[in-house]
Structure 1
Amino acid sequence: MAPWTRLVPTTHCDSEESESLTASAFKSVRTALDVPERELKRWRRIFDANAKVVNGEKFLDTESFVNAIAPKGDLSKIGRAQFAILFRVADTSRRGLVSWEDFTVFETLLKRPDADYWMAFQYFDVDNSGFITYDEFKNVFTANVGPDAIPFDFDCDWVKLYLGKKNGAHVLGYNEFTQLMKGLQGERLRQAFKYLDADQDGFIRPEQFKRIILDIAGHKLSEGVIERLPTLCTLSPGQRISYSEVIAFHNVIRQMDMVERIIREATAKTKDGRIDQSDFLNHSASSSRYSLFTPMEASIIFHFAGRGIGSQRLSLIDFAQLLDPRWRAPHHEPEVQHVASSASFVQSILSSSYSFVQGGIAGAFGATIVYPIDMGKMQNQRSTVVGQLLYKNSIDCAQKIFRNEGFLGFYRGLGPQLVGVAPEKAIKLTVNDIIRGRAMDPETGRIKLGWELFAGGMAGGCQVIFTNPLEIVKIRLQIQGEAAKVEGAVPKGAVHIIRQLGILGLYRGASACLLRDIPFSAIYFPAYMHLKKDVFNEGYNGKQLSFLETLGSAAMAGMPAAYLTTPADVVKTRLQVEARKGQTHYKGLQDAFFKIYKEEGFKALFKGGPARVLRSSPQFGFTLLGYETLKTFFPYPWQDKPRQVETALTSRPDELTRIRARNALKILLDVHGDFGRRAGSSGVPLSLSSPRLSSQQSNK
């Protein structure tokens, strides 16, 4: 009797009733398999989405079964078609179809923490005895590897050590089987080397080494590495490959996840984003209790990553062909290169224009949120004003603005701000991105600190052409609102202020504006990038920052940048504001610095500093958050993306059951790269009914 017949009530129903599982059936299955109802409903959705109707009932054939269980966008070399191997495990009735009941049992098995080995055990346990006999192991193994494979001696001492005697027959329990499968590749490697080493001198030819590796690990290697397998002979004199080198290469493959972790961590810590063999071994020793890799294994890693030059310093992208089984060599056709170079100029202009628009939108977003804070900076209020002070402090300023002008008073001057903030932020963000892109190492993504400061400084300097007129009009609109209430004057509009100042007047205080914006951006952008990378670990093992992490990085970077440039902002404000009767007049930048310091003291240069931090920090936080969000969700459509090392280690976690299905396949493919493709000709039935699924089943 099939295992599900004891778990699910079998009923005959018409096609309409078969569209969904009845409540009682759901309850029976959930109780028998101890599966949450939500999980069972999810399985049902997957089954219904892929099933085909046969004689009024839904079933999965091989193709639809693969669609239901194969990981989406799997970053391994295992093809989706190879998941059909597991179809023979799920199809316990041997009718070429998997029913809903079959599927629930299969998915329940995948929930086991040892599902990968459990599936492999059931593949070999063809008589459902709960043990694997010597004959079963040999027959299933032989049927799946084919006659062209390197012979395997089943009567060797290694097999005998695992397959003990019971009543005169060789048997293997489940736990013993897992250890046997884990060590099987090593024994196959030893036997294969001994078989091909005809003269027993401890060496084989390069093509023989390639044959061995393709048999047991071809699915783990990229085509680039497979093509260069014979070059392993160049590591030592004689143009042949020793057993030590074969074992070392196999150890590298088995520990590939750890190899990748060490490479990613080591390259992230070096200044140039590159490592050599010493860096690799040093980081390996510091990140583990025991030595994981020998010098020979490190040489092999760098040999294949460095294309034969193992002594050079390599970046993460150089290791891509070794770490990523799906890696393909880039094409370098002359025609393609010519077309690419001729179109690069146009593409750069279009990409910069696209970024310009995104920067403007993000800048307007950030400015609108924090604009009321800008009204309370009080930088233009002077201690030597003839008559009364307008504001005692920032809180008093906010109270009087609200009392005299209402809530809209906090947004006086916002119109010109939004008109100017788009080109201002767009230029700043775009120029910084362009210079960083030009100065960045294309292989490591690293940029030297000097270039980071230069990119930020140039971005701040280039924006002044738009910033200075904007600042003058904005400040004069801001201060005249409250002054008009006190003095009884009629506030003037932006057009009147522009006509009054003229073109040259709009750039009054430009030197102070440069003195503020260049160091501000030179501090801000490098701080922002390093906070994302060094504090929040952006890009580490593929990590993408969350909403709060991006906002936090941008906001924290704005704090030192805003406060340290406050003196320049104070001087700029004084130069741009029209002095009233009784107020000190300033001839220029140097004169303003000296007079402010002499008349009001050193603290006056940092007047409004905290308010400036409170404004600039969140403003740039929201601006950069908006810019990063726009780039993420609306990237430039034709942008050439840099090559990334994408592996299962850094990919977005897939559903655990799908991962276990993939791992079960890897265990079987470790037996032979063609495992499962020849199983159809073996004529050996497979079963799912033993070992028992649960203690409940064993009691029934």
Structure 2
Amino acid sequence: MEKVNEQKVATLPAAQKFKLLPKIINGGIAGIIGVSVVFPLDLVKTRLQNQVVGPAGEKMYSSMLDCFKKTYAAEGYFGMYKGSGVNILLITPEKAIKLTANDMFRHYLSPESGKPLTLVREMLAGGSAGACQIVITTPMELLKIQMQDAGRVAAAAKNEGKVIPKVSAISLTTELLKKRGIKGLYQGTGATALRDVTFSVIYFPLFARLNGLGPKREDGSSVFWCSFLSGCVAGSAAALCVNPFDVIKTRLQAINKAPGEPTYNGVLDCIGKTLKNEGPTAFFKGGACRMIVIAPLFGIAQTVYYLGVAERLMGLI
């Protein structure tokens, strides 16, 4: 039986074999390009989600545009890219895992008859891909959030007559490892899993369905603009749906708090305190900004991924 299966695999056409290496490379390239383009918006999203409304309704930022203006005025152009080094470094394996794992699970879940995947199998493939990426996403998001939110925390402390020392990704990583070991880099893992698995369950089936509606090239691959638009629409829809989980994750992973801001002991504690102090609308803070971030991020990522850059460089197509 094993010999028969081996012969069957060996005689499969090249197009039917799952080429892992080029897909990993494509995922990495897609992640770097996408993050580089949308990072300033992601920084604004993080600061909006972390700010807490004061007793009299006072807020540091009144809107997404106000946050962008104040951040740029106080910290300059490069201030908008705080934490981008960590993000770009780790986004390569993160996006490679996410995009490649989804393709791999879809490949192995495909019926032998050649029929399209059912919606349930598409959701299973997407959710499994989201679960796989958590090993990279959690420490990446943890470090990125500290760097992105540092300016807001420092400004709030300054208003209180206090000074918050500057931190770097390296110093923060070293401190967390000394105090808590490797577990220190995985603060907020539960909330990250809740967000990423749910996002992938929604995003990947929706993207596949939308992308399947568009025109195809002679070899059956999607045209670039169709992949881009499908990624934008599916990404923004999934981002809005999971925004409450993203708010929870962001707050749990914010180690340095501004004076007077609450601390949380887990997902349920964060949900309870947020509802009590700010009401249900707090879970959609930064929602519009997150949609604006995720739409081009995944539009660009999917376009680069499906352009087959690695396959062309490796001479596979």
Which range, TM-score by smaller chain?
0.7 to 0.9
| Whole-Å separation in 2 of the counterparts to 1:360 and 1:461 | 18
Q: How does 1:182-581 map to 2 (within 5 A)?
A: 338=6, 341=9, 351-377=19-45, 378-384=48-54, 389-485=59-155, 487=158, 488-502=163-177, 503-534=182-213, 536-538=214-216, 545-578=222-255, 579-581=257-259
| Whole-Å separation in 1 of the counterparts to 2:6 and 2:195 | 44
| Whole-Å separation in 2 of the counterparts to 1:483 and 1:591 | 22
Residue segments in structure 1 that go unaligned for 5+ positions in a row: 1-334, 640-700
| Whole-Å separation in 1 of the counterparts to 2:192 and 2:33 | 22
Pair 338,563 (structure 1): closer, same or farther in 2 beyond 3 Å: closer
Pair 380,485 (structure 1): closer, same or farther in 2 beyond 3 Å: closer
| Whole-Å separation in 1 of the counterparts to 2:313 and 2:204 | 20
| Whole-Å separation in 2 of the counterparts to 1:388 and 1:492 | 27
Contact 1:386/1:583 (<8 A) preserved = no
Contact 2:41/2:292 (<8 A) preserved = yes
Q: Confirm whether residue 630 of structure 1 aligns to residue 308 of structure 2.
A: yes
| Local SS of the residue matching 1:463 | helix
Contact 1:468/1:507 (<8 A) preserved = yes
Aligned-pair CA distance for 1:386: 10
Aligned-pair CA distance for 1:499: 2.1
| Whole-Å separation in 2 of the counterparts to 1:354 and 1:545 | 17
Q: How does 1:142-161 map to 2 (within 5 A)?
A: none
Q: How does 1:70-89 map to 2 (within 5 A)?
A: none
Q: Confirm whether residue 609 of structure 1 aligns to residue 287 of structure 2.
A: yes
Aligned-pair CA distance for 1:599: 1.0
| Whole-Å separation in 1 of the counterparts to 2:114 and 2:309 | 21
| Whole-Å separation in 2 of the counterparts to 1:483 and 1:573 | 14
Contact 2:22/2:310 (<8 A) preserved = no
Which amino acid letter does the alignment assign opposite residue 151 of structure 2?
Answer: G
Residues 463-505 of structure 1 deviation map (CA, whole Å, 9 limit, x = unaligned): 0110010111101001112433452433211111112223212
Larger RCO (CA under 8 A, 6+ residues apart): 2
For the pair shown, which has the larger CA radius of gyration, 1 or 2?
Answer: 1
Q: Confirm whether residue 583 of structure 1 aligns to residue 261 of structure 2.
A: yes
Report the count of equivalent residues: 301
Residue segments in structure 2 that go unaligned for 5+ positions in a row: none
| Whole-Å separation in 2 of the counterparts to 1:385 and 1:427 | 43
Contact 2:25/2:310 (<8 A) preserved = no
| Whole-Å separation in 2 of the counterparts to 1:368 and 1:549 | 22
Which amino acid letter does the alignment assign opposite residue 226 of structure 2?
Answer: E
| Whole-Å separation in 2 of the counterparts to 1:511 and 1:343 | 43
Residues 494-541 of structure 1 deviation map (CA, whole Å, 9 limit, x = unaligned): 11111222321211111000100001011111101100113x2547x9
Pair 517,337 (structure 1): closer, same or farther in 2 beyond 3 Å: closer
**Cα RMSD (Å) of the superposition?**
2.9
Pair 635,423 (structure 1): closer, same or farther in 2 beyond 3 Å: same
Aligned-pair CA distance for 1:547: 2.7
Pair 423,543 (structure 1): closer, same or farther in 2 beyond 3 Å: closer
Aligned-pair CA distance for 1:553: 0.9
Contact 1:384/1:583 (<8 A) preserved = no
Identity of aligned residues (%): 34
Which amino acid letter does the alignment assign opposite residue 133 of structure 2?
Answer: Q
| Whole-Å separation in 2 of the counterparts to 1:631 and 1:522 | 26
Aligned-pair CA distance for 1:362: 0.8
| Whole-Å separation in 2 of the counterparts to 1:385 and 1:361 | 46
| Whole-Å separation in 1 of the counterparts to 2:183 and 2:248 | 18
Which amino acid letter does the alignment assign opposite residue 367 of structure 1?
Answer: V
Pair 591,549 (structure 1): closer, same or farther in 2 beyond 3 Å: same
Which amino acid letter does the alignment assign opposite residue 279 of structure 2?
Answer: G
Pair 391,587 (structure 1): closer, same or farther in 2 beyond 3 Å: same
| Local SS of the residue matching 1:506 | helix
* Alignment correspondent of 1:9: none
Give the TM-score of the pair, scaled to structure 1.
0.40
| Local SS of the residue matching 1:411 | coil
Contact 1:351/1:636 (<8 A) preserved = no
Residues 591-637 of structure 1 deviation map (CA, whole Å, 9 limit, x = unaligned): 11111111100100111111000001110010001100126862875
| Whole-Å separation in 2 of the counterparts to 1:631 and 1:448 | 29
Pair 553,635 (structure 1): closer, same or farther in 2 beyond 3 Å: farther
